[in-house]
Every structure is written in C-alpha cells, then in structure tokens.
Amino acid sequence: MIKNNFLGTMPWPVCSFASFLGGFFAGAVNNPIDLVYNRQAADALLPDHLKRGYTSLFDGLSKCHIEGTLMRGAVASGVASGVLLASMSNFYDFLKEYVYWFSGPTNWLRPLILIPTAALGTFCYLPFDNIKVRIHNMSPLPNGEVPYRGLIDALTKVIYLFLFEKIYNFKNILIFRFLLMNVMSNNILLYLPSIQDSFQLS
C-alpha cells in the first residue's frame, strides 16, 4: 500500500523530460521577441544595406510578420531553453542531497550547489543558443538560398566551431554573463520564500 502511494522524487529521466518540455514550449513562444532582439543587437555590426532598422519591439514584430520569419528559429529556441532546464533541474537536487549528507544544514549549501549546476546548464545551452542567433540573423545567399535550413543542418555545419573554437572558449564573455545570471536568478528564486516569511513574521 505504501509502495503504491509513494510520492518521492521523480526519476531523473522523467523529471528532465518534463523540464525539457516546459523549456521547449517557453523558448518557442518567446522566439518572436528573441528574434527581434537578436536582429536589433546585430544591426550595429552590419553594413547599411543589410541593416533591418527596427525602431521598437512592435515595429520588429510587424516587419518579421510581413517578411514571414516570425517563427524562424523557434525549434532552436525551444531546444536551447529545453536543454537548459533539463540539464539543471535534477542535477541541482542530486548535488544538494549528497552534499547535505556530508555538510548538514548550512547557509552556503544552496549558493554553492548552484555554481556547478549553472555551469552545466550554460555548457548545454550555449551551442543551441549560438545556432538560434545564427538562424535569427541569417540573410539569403547570392543564389537565393538561406545558409541554414534548420536546427540539424546548422548543427552539422558548425560542429567544429562548437567543439574547438569560439563557443567553449573562456574568452567568450557570454559564458561568464550567462553563468552569473543563472546563479543570481536561481538564488533569488530559492531565497525569496524565506525573505517573504521574515517580513510576515515581523
């Protein structure tokens, strides 16, 4: 009876798959906003004849809709967010449980565990984020075709870049930016309930 009604921690694959689905949905829905943002950021690096010149978010969304590219890169956006959540969700619980076994309850446990957790999430996220940005900013080639026909096509074309050059190079400031953002945001989420409780008690 107890075995059949046990509500413990979900198995790692189940929890990671659920996290991936949630992240994929969020990334795909957020894709149009991400598309406009990436194109606005890239405009400063493009020659004048290639600049898109979005004046605002709504101007960019409107022009992308007319262009028919509003959901371009949605799969890459979804996979990037999905692997981020899937890689971090159970890994954090796993580390926290086993470090707690040796250290006991401490104030530094959760912030410390978030550092390797965020590092893993960053490692898994960056390749797909790079592909997403490439797909968002690509322009037609002289023959009229686009450089990447989708996520798999882009992944196979730039696999060498992923493994040996720019993405996992520690000179890449994006690694530190995303790692710091991940650690800080998750720490705030973890400690917010206790902060709220302290205000209610006072």
For 61-107, the pLDDT digits (tens) are: 999 999 999 999 999 999 999 999 999 888 888 888 778 777 777 77
Token pair, residue 163, equals: 């493994």
* Spatial contact of 131 and 154, defined as CB atoms under 8 Å apart: yes
Token pair, residue 92, equals: 């954090």
State the pLDDT at residue 1. Answer: 43
pLDDT at 5 over 60: no
Q: Does the domain made of 12-201 have the CATH classification 1.50.40.10?
A: yes
Does the predicted TM-score (pTM) go above 0.75?
no
| Integer-rounded Cα radius of gyration of the chain | 21
pLDDT band at 148 (very low <50, low <70, confident <90, very high): confident
**Residue 106, SS3 per DSSP:** coil
CA distances from 153 to 76, 111, 156 (A): 11, 38, 5
Per-chain mean pLDDT for the chain: 79
pLDDT at 42 over 80: yes
The residue with greater pLDDT, 97 or 148, is 148
